[in-house]
Amino acid sequence: MTARRHVATTARLATVLLAVLAPWRLDAQSLSPRDSALHALNRLAFGPRPGEVDRVAGLGVMRWIDQQLEPERVPDDRLAERERAFKLLDLGREELALRYGDALRERREMQRNMAASGDTARRPGAGPMREFRQLGGELQQLAVVRAALSERQLREVMVDFWTNHFNVFVGKGADRFLTPSYIEQTIRPHALGRFEDLLIATAQSPAMLFYLDNAQSIAPGSVPPMRGRRPDRMPQGINENYARELLELHTLGVDGGYTQQDVIAVARILTGWGIERPQQGAGFTFRDWAHDRGEKTVLGVRFPGGHGMDEGVRLLKLLANQHATMHHVSRKLCARLVADEPPDGCVDAAVDAWHRTNGDIRAVLRAIVAAPDFWAPQVLHAKVKTPFEFVVSAVRATGAEPDDTPRLAQVVARLGQPLYLQPAPTGYPETQAQWVNSGALLGRMNVAVALAAGRLPGVTTNLDAVVPLTADRSQLTDLVNGRVLSGTMTAHTRDVIRRQLADVNDPMQARALAVGLAIGGPEFQRQ
Amino acid sequence: MSISRRVFVKSGGLALVSLGLDPLFLARAAFASHRPLPPLTASDRPVLVCLFQRGAVDGLNMIVPHGEPLYYRERPRIAIPAKDVVDLDGHFGLHPSLAPLKPLWDNKSLAAIHAVGSPDATRSHFDAQDYMESGTPGVKSTSDGWLNRYCRHDREHVDTPFRAVAFGPQLPRILAGTAPTLAIDDLQAFGLRVPQEAARDRLTRAFEELYEGAATGLLASSSQEGFDAIQMLKRVNPGQYQPANGAAYPPGRFGRALLQIAQLIKANLGLEIAFADVGGWDTHVNQGSSEGQLAARLRELGLGLAAFAQDLGERMRSVVVLTMSEFGRTIRENGNSGTDHGHATAMLALGGPVNGGRVLGRWPGLDPASRFEGRDVAVTTDFRDLFAEVLARHLGAAALAPVFPGYTPDPARFPGAITG
């Protein structure tokens, strides 16, 4: 830890020195148009598709970024067409709650029958259980399909970032049916909006209220209107889980200067923020009877009692606009978009923009890409892809098409990143140490080889359109470098691939081998 | 192939450590026994096998307090009749499905720890499993698992690709973190999946060359570990494995996981920690008594553990198997002849180093006055004290504080599961 911090400090120092001493400007202009296009497509998109680097370079990388920042003006018909196959998108939270109830009933029925017959073999269930499981598969696959196919790539990157920042776990009870509307109605509409709106939306989302137990948090001694509830099932007192993660993870950050007293006060302010019963639609509700009516103080700011739900809204606005929040979230954004240990320059630029615009996420992103740090030579190809980024970028690089089954999402899961299934509220880490280990790398090589051979489940490949068959091995290697690796192939990799191809006579086999080695090789693990 | 060189260097470093030249040797004396650590490939290196009973096992029907009349009064339909209980000490007994474990109790290699659990009151599977795996009850934001933190902080053990392995499709939370760990679904399929051996070898070499020449940093070292691991397994030839001593593992996922763990232990590839899940314990409805749902799950557990001990034979002298479950179940049966989410449960420890033949932990009794929240078995052993004891006294962990942040394991509170 100390060593890492030391390295980070040294790197930061070097960046500062370089910026001071260098007479040239370390920004997009100092890179070739192709290099800057590739870098932007790696970080602000899920990697280039064949030919896309040239297209973005031709358009001008800054113009492409401007377009991406206004996704509503980027046509996305092909994705819209594909989304129609996902039944999940036609079902509201109420409908999903009902279907989940049906699935639970079927499961209980089955357990009763099993117990009665002494038969212990597990069965998948035929009706509602199976249907509900299919919807869960759709939820995961939809994330893969959107990331791979959307023309609004930066928006998809930000959806992924915020979904992870405001993590919920789809495996926890009611979150099985609350997560789809969380993604569609809470995260996606706000991904490029204002941070404050996004924060309030997550705080009022049933998925988050359930995941971090705020729905169970009630003022001590408060008594619910009894509707035949069993007293031993009633929640007892305040629950600090959401309050703590709200401060530590969602806003101020662990070093954000709050105390345990602040955590308790935040939990008291948010008492009463709960969820309707599933039969009533499982929406957000404020339960006045559960709210703590006393006065509270958070970060030295007084919250007089008796203001009900408004106290919470005021609190969230206060938190959204703290300098510590701006710094914490900006640093996380830069860790995703720039470098695992982001240079101070881009973080400061993001915080400035946040101050200036009251947390307009587009303005913050503009500031990050306008910062010289974003284009600095030492950050190019410096980040290792997460399993999700690896699979999606491989699909894109080979011009492949994911299908409607959950199988490609299962590939991502097997590589270590099951979607919506991170139990810890931290979300998945952004740093390479988490993702790079021997088993995971072998897994990636297997995915690459299968994809190149057209054997990867859940995806249709059409390599003819990307790397036409050729008997000339030099030409084949050049094509793979140019079309699949966007010109990043090292001389060493080229040598190894050429040697491997030497005695492969079948051009189909040769192409599959070359593409498999390229996607599974070290260059493609980085972005 | 650089495999032998790397392993040799690692073992060499280890040998120095085991002579006590490392200053950590002094630090660990406070907790651990003074056994010097055998070299990497020695057949008596300590191994810990953790088995997670997901769903909250009913500790009271697993290790039955048949000497307690209240047990029978609270469970008229699901209690294990005294005539069926496999008596252990006059007060506690094994569920009849666990009868295959009785010989291991008799030879003092099996112990039960009762009334063990979390200081956190949650009755949510999700939260309680999370706390048991992160090792930080009540703290949700811990991103790594305690077994991974052990691997990261214990410098005394040098990493091999097989140091910490979870058997299953995905890495569980308990092993997640920055120390290298492996999730293996099938030992035979580890490596590149190409059907023909020659083609597979060739592709493996090609990738190895690619990474040797073009990878840097973590990508380089991790890929090399992966290729080493493939070579190591190839020599072991897992496809040819036959359990020893006539051991027969029960069919199914759990038996297969145990068989592969035994195989990896015998291969002497430096395995220190193995992990596997065994599910199906959430018995809210019709859980059964001497027969039924829970009985079937316990039968698989008992047969599996007995086969494992038989298969490993003498090697069990340095192996400890530890079961764990997120919480126990209500003392009183519910209206559906099942049990609901409770608090403390029982765990099993099996192996040569185990202080066996006894039920450990302070038994709080089933008396309503001593129950947790008036309904559940109270926790008298914090699970971290049991886990810490196993890490310190069995694996020789040097530092426990970083493994269980916010907690100070104290040998005085260790339940005494490992012989000193």
The C-alpha of A411 sits at a distance from chain B's nearest C-alpha, in angstroms, of 11
Structure tokens belonging to residue B306:
């007995």
What are the two backbone dihedrals, phi and then psi, of residue B71, each rounded to the nearest 5 degrees? -55, -45
Structure tokens belonging to residue A244:
């703590």
* Chain A residues in contact with B127 (beta carbon < 8 A): 213
* Chain B residues in contact with A495 (beta carbon < 8 A): 213
Nearest to A492 among B134, B207, B213 (CB): B213
Angle of helix A260-269 relative to helix A309-320, nearest 10 degrees, comes to: 140
A423: contact with B, CB 8 A cutoff: yes
Q: Mean pLDDT highest for which of A410-414, B65-69, B137-141?
A: B65-69
Q: By C-alpha distance, which of B310, B305, B312 is closest to B62?
A: B305
Q: Is the pLDDT of residue B312 over 60?
A: yes
More confident residue, B98 or A3: B98
- What's the pLDDT score for residue A483? 96
Task: Please answer yes or no on whether A438 and B229 come within 8 Å at the CB atom.
Answer: yes
- What's the pLDDT score for residue B289? 96
- What's the pLDDT score for residue A495? 96
* Chain A residues in contact with B134 (beta carbon < 8 A): 424
* Chain B residues in contact with A446 (beta carbon < 8 A): 192-193
Which B-chain residues 283-312 have CB contacts (< 8 A) with chain A? 284-288, 291-293, 296-297
Q: What mean pLDDT comes out for the span B407-414?
A: 93
How far is Cα B299 from Cα B100, in angstroms, rounded to an integer?
9
- What's the pLDDT score for residue B31? 38
Kindly report the three-state secondary structure assignment for every residue of B239-258: HHCCCCCCCCCCCCHHHHHH
B375: contact with A, CB 8 A cutoff: yes
What are the two backbone dihedrals, phi and then psi, of residue A275, each rounded to the nearest 5 degrees? -125, 140
* Chain B residues in contact with A164 (beta carbon < 8 A): none
Q: Which residues of chain A have pLDDT under 50?
A: 1-5, 7-11, 13-27
Rounded to two decimals, what is the model's pTM?
0.83
- What's the pLDDT score for residue B301? 98
* Chain B residues in contact with A437 (beta carbon < 8 A): 180-182, 222, 225
Q: Is the pLDDT of residue B354 over 50?
A: yes
The C-alpha of A200 sits at a distance from chain B's nearest C-alpha, in angstroms, of 21
Which B-chain residues 188-247 have CB contacts (< 8 A) with chain A? 190-194, 202-203, 206-207, 209-211, 213-220, 222-223, 225-226, 228-230
Q: What mean pLDDT comes out for the span B200-206?
A: 94
Can you name the residues that pair with A115 across neighbouring β-strands? none
- The pLDDT confidence band at residue B158, using thresholds 50, 70 and 90, is low
Angle of helix A153-165 relative to helix A361-370, nearest 10 degrees, comes to: 110
Contact A517, A450 (CB under 8 A): no
* Chain B residues in contact with A108 (beta carbon < 8 A): 285
Q: Chain A residue closest to B171 (CA)?
A: A416
- What's the pLDDT score for residue A118? 59
A493: contact with B, CB 8 A cutoff: yes
Q: By C-alpha distance, which of B371, B302, B416, B363 is closest to B65?
A: B363
Task: Please answer yes or no on whether B207 and A525 come within 8 Å at the CB atom.
Answer: no
Nearest to B192 among A249, A442, A513 (CB): A442
Q: Chain B residue closest to A453 (CA)?
A: B194
pLDDT 10s digits, B13-30:
333 333 333 333 333 333
- What's the pLDDT score for residue A291? 97
Structure tokens belonging to residue A68:
């991406």
Contacting residues for B275 by C-beta, under 8 A, at least 6 apart: B49, B50, B51, B52, B147, B164, B165, B166, B167, B172, B174, B175
Contact A333, A161 (CB under 8 A): yes
Task: Please answer yes or no on whether B180 and A438 come within 8 Å at the CB atom.
Answer: yes
Could you count the other beta carbons within 10 Å of the beta carbon of residue A347? 24
How far is Cα A426 from Cα B150, in angstroms, rounded to an integer?
21
Q: Chain A residue closest to B180 (CA)?
A: A437
* Chain A residues in contact with B146 (beta carbon < 8 A): none
Alpha helices in A25-183 (DSSP H): 33-43, 52-59, 61-68, 77-83, 93-117, 128-149, 153-165, 175-181
Distances in Å between the alpha carbon of B284 and those of A89, A108, A419, B337? 34, 9, 29, 8
Can you name the residues that pair with B93 across neighbouring β-strands? B64, B87
pLDDT 10s digits, A311-355:
999 999 999 999 999 999 999 999 999 999 999 999 999 999 999
Distances in Å between the alpha carbon of A430 and those of A45, A388, A434, B227? 16, 12, 8, 25
Q: Is the dihedral of CA A489, A493, A498, A501 positive or negative?
A: negative
* Chain B residues in contact with A254 (beta carbon < 8 A): 141
Secondary structure class of A194 (helix, strand, coil): strand
Nearest to B140 among A120, A241, A522 (CB): A241
Q: By C-alpha distance, which of A58, A54, A59, A62 is closest to A38?
A: A54
- The pLDDT confidence band at residue B357, using thresholds 50, 70 and 90, is very high
Task: Please answer yes or no on whether B141 and A111 come within 8 Å at the CB atom.
Answer: no
Structure tokens belonging to residue B98:
């666990």
DSSP state string for B204-220: HHHHHHHHHHH--HHHH
